[in-house]
Structure 1
Amino acid sequence: MKFSSTDSYVAPHDLTVAVNAAIALERPLLVKGEPGTGKTELARQVAASLGLEMIEWNIKSTTRAQQGLYEYDAVSRLRDSQLGDPKVEDVRHYIKKGKLWQAFEAEQKVVLLIDEIDKADIEFPNDLLQELDKMAFHVYETGETISAKQRPVVIITSNNEKELPDAFLRRCFFHYIRFPDMETMKQIVEVHFPGLKSDLLGAALAQFYEIRDTQGLKKKPSTSEVLDWLKLLLAEDLSPEDLKRDGVNALPKLHGALLKNEQDVALFERLAFLARGQRR
């Protein structure tokens, strides 16, 4: 069972090595990187490459670790008992299976994505230590233990908003997705926009990396944003000449796809003002 690039996803060599190492070790793969570098998409592509079903658990600030195992609805059971509903005799009617339970009970191996784990409370990763390590958990209401029939491929993503506990990190195989260099980005673009004219692609990517390297930028544009930008350039049928910037307007064409806050827009406007002053 080996992961490699797919028709719709360009995986650098170090990333494929990391995925396959985590699979071989049967440990969760913890993936970090800038937002928009394809961390979530990686899990989908691993599932597609290996021919496995994917179960996705999207983490929010209010998510608790217990929700990944199961939730017991005691209120509904109490209400039904007051109404004389016979199903109250079986507590299983009031247990909602979480994503880990679904992954553990699957007959075939699955890919389990725990997406953006750093959004949750700092104790969230520690609360999952034993379950991810032993691939089993206890259901107190029924007295049963749920063990994984097939150990899932676990991929955990983080945007590095919070530090993760050392005990949790010890149980993971770690990989940081570096931002693609120019050549890798060309391969990624070719997957999404096959046959894009090389002169337009060259001019667009040169400008894109120039924007990313601008000092003082609050949010650097990501891979997903450059793909959106290229889609707009094609829709507007712009040429390499149309992309050229001068001192009058330092903002890139259709800059709303690349610059996502007013501070960065203002930064480029200031650069244009300074450039005009130097020309006088």
Structure 2
Amino acid sequence: MRFDGTDAYVATPDLMVAVNAAITLERPLLVKGEPGTGKTELARQVAAALGLRLIEWHVKSTTRAQQGLYEYDAVSRLRDSQLGDERVHDVANYIRPGKLWEAFAAPERCVLLIDEVDKADIEFPNDLLQELDRMEFHVYETGQTIRAARRPIVIITSNNEKDLPDAFLRRCFFHFIRFPDMETLRRIVAVHHPGVKEELLAIALTRFFELRETPGLRKKPSTSEVLDWLKLLLAEDLTAADLRADPKEALPRLHGALLKNEQDVALFERLAFLNRGRE
């Protein structure tokens, strides 16, 4: 079982090595990187490439580790007891399996995505250590043990918003997705916008990298944002000439696809003002 990328996802050699190493070691793959660099999409493409089912667990700030295992709906059971419902005599009727339960109970190997693990409380990763190590957990209400029939391929993503516990990191194979260089970004664009003209692409990517490298930028535009920008350029039928740098116009055309806060827009407006003042 080996991941070699897909036609819909440009995976760099080091990323493919990381995925295959995690599969061989049977360890969770912890993937970090800027938002928009394809961390979540990686899990989907790994599942597609290997022909496996994908189970997605999207973590929020309020998510608890227990929710990934199961939840006991005591409120529904109390209501049913008041109504005289016969279901109340079997506690299993009120156990709601979580995503880990779903992955462990799958009859065939699957891919489990735990997305944006750093959004939750700092104790969240530690609370999953034993379950991810042993691939089993106990359901106290029913006395049953849920054990993985086939160890799933676990891919965990993080936007690096907070440090993760050392004990958790020790159990993972780690990979940081670096922002793609010009050539890799060209390959990514070719997958999503195969008809873009070479001259337009060259000017657009040059402007994009100039914008990303501007000192003082609060939020650098990501891979997904440059793809959105190119889609707009194509929809508006803009040419390379329309994008050529003009010192009087520091903001690129349709910049709302790239700059996502007023501070960064103001920065480029100041740069344009300074350039005009030098004339």
Give per-residue Cα distances to partners, 1:175-222, cap 9 Å, x unaligned: 000000000000000001113211110000000000000000000000
Using the TM superposition, give the Cα deviation of residue 245 of structure 1 relative to its aligned residue in structure 2, in angstroms: 2.8
What residue ranges of structure 2 are gaps of 5+ in the alignment? none
Q: Hey, what does 2:249 align to over in structure 1?
A: 249
Give per-residue Cα distances to partners, 1:237-274, cap 9 Å, x unaligned: 00111002322211000000000000000000000011
What residue ranges of structure 1 are gaps of 5+ in the alignment? none
Secondary structure in structure 2 of the residue aligned to 1:216: coil
Secondary structure in structure 2 of the residue aligned to 1:40: helix
Residue 51 (str. 1) matches residue 51 (str. 2): yes
TM alignment of 1:6-85, pairs within 5 A: 6-85=6-85
Matching residue's letter, 2:73: D
Q: RMSD across aligned C-alpha pairs, in angstroms?
A: 0.6
- Please say if residues 247 and 273 of structure 1, whose CA atoms lie closer than 8 Å, have aligned partners that are also in contact: no
Distance 1:61 1:104 in 2: 24
Q: Hey, what does 1:232 align to over in structure 2?
A: 232
Q: Hey, what does 1:160 align to over in structure 2?
A: 160
Identity %: 77
Give per-residue Cα distances to partners, 1:7-32, cap 9 Å, x unaligned: 11000000000000000000000000
TM-score (norm 1): 0.99
Distance 2:22 2:273 in 1: 51
- Please say if residues 245 and 251 of structure 1, whose CA atoms lie closer than 8 Å, have aligned partners that are also in contact: no
- Please say if residues 229 and 258 of structure 2, whose CA atoms lie closer than 8 Å, have aligned partners that are also in contact: yes
Q: Hey, what does 2:102 align to over in structure 1?
A: 102
Secondary structure in structure 1 of the residue aligned to 2:278: helix
Give per-residue Cα distances to partners, 1:137-182, cap 9 Å, x unaligned: 0000001110000100000000001100000000000000000000
Q: How many residues end up aligned between the 2 structures?
A: 279
Q: Hey, what does 2:203 align to over in structure 1?
A: 203
- Please say if residues 68 and 99 of structure 1, whose CA atoms lie closer than 8 Å, have aligned partners that are also in contact: yes
Q: Which runs of 4+ in 1 moved over 3 A?
A: none
Secondary structure in structure 2 of the residue aligned to 1:186: helix
Distance 1:214 1:227 in 2: 19
